[in-house]
Copies of this chain bind each other. A is one copy, B any other.
């Protein structure tokens, strides 16, 4: 414990320097989905490998057909201590709409709020650069104070998490032995609230589809053809508008195959969580839950599947007006999956649903954007118990076990391909605006996140 105390003090004393390091990383616009930023993705990877080398890891970049992976190893000091694999991603989401940002998304700033709390604002601050740096800083302090780490640690940082992870599976298969540890630590998750850390034990899956509806072979003048020619926007709207019935249920045949009702004990656990639907929605300007009737918000976002349109585009969208019947219209649609829903079946059923609704002369093209099933982690493993205690030692309130609405496909692949369980711990907050303008990460998340990882590493090493 003397070691841990020294490490925690070291983290406290070096917080300002750790913020500067994070800002350096945030300045690199590593938007993985846009090929224009490929060079920046590589720069971010190189920055991280260089930093890990500098603190004593053996780090390298591993090339992929897309953005490079960062892999770093440290043997640790503890004979018989577990081997942990830390996973994070250095790529970030696009920044549009840029005009809604209050400052340059890639010029990170520390902003002090009226209540005295500070936050780090910038794209990637919470998702995932700030989160992954909490772990790197914990390692840095451990090595600085003790000369080593209490566990053997492998760090694996991906650069394509925000763009469907096209290189992940071949990479895992090709580096199975090097990457397989006793447990994976995944930081891409959130706190329960500002005072309560959380361990996520359930994750929704995800299926992404892009559809393009085409009718005439060229854009048409709505005066000359309007009323007699198919309008791809109208047809797309009709299809997307019919994805849900009036009770909020998804209407695609077979969509609910594999969806179980929540077990009573889990429902009870979640109902006991201190959660205000009004506050959760109120934080983003809403007051009434949307979606399926008769289910709580937590059930909806943790244990129910969804069909959402994430983007739509067609015709003239510039200033002014243009009376065009466009030749095509496009949409990006995603499905969140729960329990045993099969991504391949969801995709196929959706495509059939669309095709069956196309009038004559109208065609559709589908483009796949990733798919992963939902996963459920055990509530009651040793690692979960150890981490729960370590987190409870650090934060004002004890750690809780929760579900999670988002998808972290790598968790399922670690299990399936490497036989490795995951521990999902992160320090994001619901209002961090990840994927949105003015993304931020609380200074408390950054500081106590570092301390939390130090505690977890120490506790795992002492087991």
Chain A residues close to B by CB (< 8 Å): 32-35, 93-94, 96-97, 100, 162-164, 204, 206, 208, 210, 215-231, 233-234, 236-244, 280-281, 284-292, 297, 300-301, 304-306, 308-326, 329-332, 334, 336, 359-361, 369-370, 404-407, 430, 433-438
**CB atoms of B361 and A286 under 8 A apart:** yes
Q: In whole angstroms, how far apart are the Cα atoms of A289 and B203 in the complex?
A: 47
- Write the nearest CB–CB distance from A356 to chain B, whole angstroms: 14
**CB atoms of B219 and A306 under 8 A apart:** no
Q: In whole angstroms, how far apart are the Cα atoms of A304 and B236 in the complex?
A: 23
**CB atoms of A225 and B301 under 8 A apart:** yes
**CB atoms of A290 and B228 under 8 A apart:** yes
**CB atoms of B225 and A284 under 8 A apart:** yes
- Write the nearest CB–CB distance from A41 to chain B, whole angstroms: 13
**CB atoms of B217 and A289 under 8 A apart:** no
**CB atoms of A290 and B359 under 8 A apart:** yes
Return the chain B residue nearest A277 by Cβ: B228
**CB atoms of B321 and A332 under 8 A apart:** yes
Q: In whole angstroms, how far apart are the Cα atoms of A305 and B221 in the complex?
A: 15
- Write the nearest CB–CB distance from A107 to chain B, whole angstroms: 20
Q: In whole angstroms, how far apart are the Cα atoms of A256 and B325 in the complex?
A: 22
**CB atoms of A332 and B312 under 8 A apart:** no
Complex A-B: 26 CB contacts under 8 Å: A33-B320, A94-B316, A164-B320, A208-B321, A210-B321, A216-B285, A219-B433, A220-B284, A221-B435, A222-B334, A224-B405, A225-B284, A227-B291, A227-B336, A228-B281, A228-B300, A228-B301, A229-B284, A231-B290, A233-B310, A236-B237, A238-B242, A239-B241, A281-B361, A309-B315, A313-B313
| Chain B residues whose CB sits within 8 angstroms of the CB of A290 once the complex forms | 227-231, 359, 361
Return the chain B residue nearest A240 by Cβ: B237
**CB atoms of B361 and A229 under 8 A apart:** no
- Tell me which of B96, B220, B300, B370 contacts A436 (CB under 8 A): B220
4 additional A-B residue pairs with CB within 8 Å, beyond A97-B219, A163-B321:
A164-B320, A222-B336, A223-B407, A228-B281
- Write the nearest CB–CB distance from A288 to chain B, whole angstroms: 4
**CB atoms of B325 and A308 under 8 A apart:** yes
**CB atoms of B93 and A322 under 8 A apart:** yes
**CB atoms of A430 and B224 under 8 A apart:** yes
| Chain B residues whose CB sits within 8 angstroms of the CB of A314 once the complex forms | 309, 311-312
**CB atoms of B322 and A435 under 8 A apart:** yes
Return the chain B residue nearest A210 by Cβ: B321
Q: In whole angstroms, how far apart are the Cα atoms of A33 and B321 in the complex?
A: 7
**CB atoms of B301 and A224 under 8 A apart:** yes
With A218-B285, A286-B216: A310-B319 Cβ-Cβ less than 8 Å: no
| Chain B residues whose CB sits within 8 angstroms of the CB of A369 once the complex forms | 320-321
**CB atoms of B308 and A231 under 8 A apart:** yes
Q: In whole angstroms, how far apart are the Cα atoms of A299 and B323 in the complex?
A: 20
- Tell me which of B220, B240, B280, B284 contacts A218 (CB under 8 A): B284
| Chain B residues whose CB sits within 8 angstroms of the CB of A225 once the complex forms | 284, 301, 405
| Chain B residues whose CB sits within 8 angstroms of the CB of A286 once the complex forms | 215-216, 229-230, 361
